[in-house]
Amino acid sequence: MMTITYVLGNKLYLNITNKCPCACEFCIRRNGEGAYGSDSLWLEHQPTAEEVIDALKKEDLDSYDEIIFCGFGEPTCELNILIKTAKYIRSVTKTPVRINTNGLSDLINESSTCKLMTGLFDTVSISLNASDKEKYNQITQPKWKDKAFDAMINFAVEANEIFPKVILSVVDVISDEEIEKCRELCKKLGIELRVRNYSA
């Protein structure tokens, strides 16, 4: 049985795809089958929006502190499923909704996508990973090395105008000096920085 939903603390996570255009050095997919004790997050097939919504219908969505699109893949790789599912969640609960994304949706979908998600998320958390293009490419290993960093920054700036809360995140495997450079970049962008703990 596929793991589409899993729980950490009192938060419900949605694993809607295994697709991702990056191969981050610290990706949890490198360490095992699941995340922090969950069942395997490798999907037997790409679930449809209907399958994701059916999985959600088995949950008491009002009982969670937050519902988060985050699994073994980049949620915007299945943008239509993401949007349809998020609209369903919005229609049945007031529980806050967050998406954890690499911010490369515009490249993935070959069009501007941020506005398509207007009203669907309370929080958008975007993986910054590094303070400049060279370091970003080294850590994130994106499909589009020439334009991924700039596309991610542009997505974050646009998201910051649309969504109630936007966060840029780095993982604490990078140096303190690099974290400070990321902090300075975030200050210039007017976006909050979150330093995430890496748990191998």
Residue 192: is its pLDDT beyond 60? yes
Residue 81: is its pLDDT beyond 50? yes
Residue bearing tokens 């299945």? 78
Higher pLDDT, 197 or 45: 45
Neighbouring CB atoms inside 10 A of 9's CB total 9
- Work out the average pLDDT over 70-84: 97
Residue 164: is its pLDDT beyond 50? yes
What separation in angstroms does the CA of 7 have from each of 38, 165, 200?
A: 8, 22, 18
Give the mean pLDDT of the chain. 94
Residue 133: is its pLDDT beyond 60? yes
pTM: 0.94
DSSP string, 61-77: GGGSSEEEE-SSS-GGG
d(CA 81, CA 47): 9
CATH superfamily, region 5-196: Aldolase class I (3.20.20.70)
Residues in the chain: 200
User: For the segment 34-53, what is each residue's pLDDT rounded down to a tens digit?
Assistant: 666 668 899 999 999 999 99
Residue 3: is its pLDDT beyond 80? yes
User: For the segment 103-112, what is each residue's pLDDT rounded down to a tens digit?
Assistant: 999 999 999 9
Q: What pLDDT is stored for residue 40 in this prediction?
A: 85
- Work out the average pLDDT over 95-104: 98
* Contacts with 134 (C-beta within 8 Å, 6 or more apart), sequence order: none
Domain ranges of the chain: 5-196
- Work out the average pLDDT over 111-119: 97
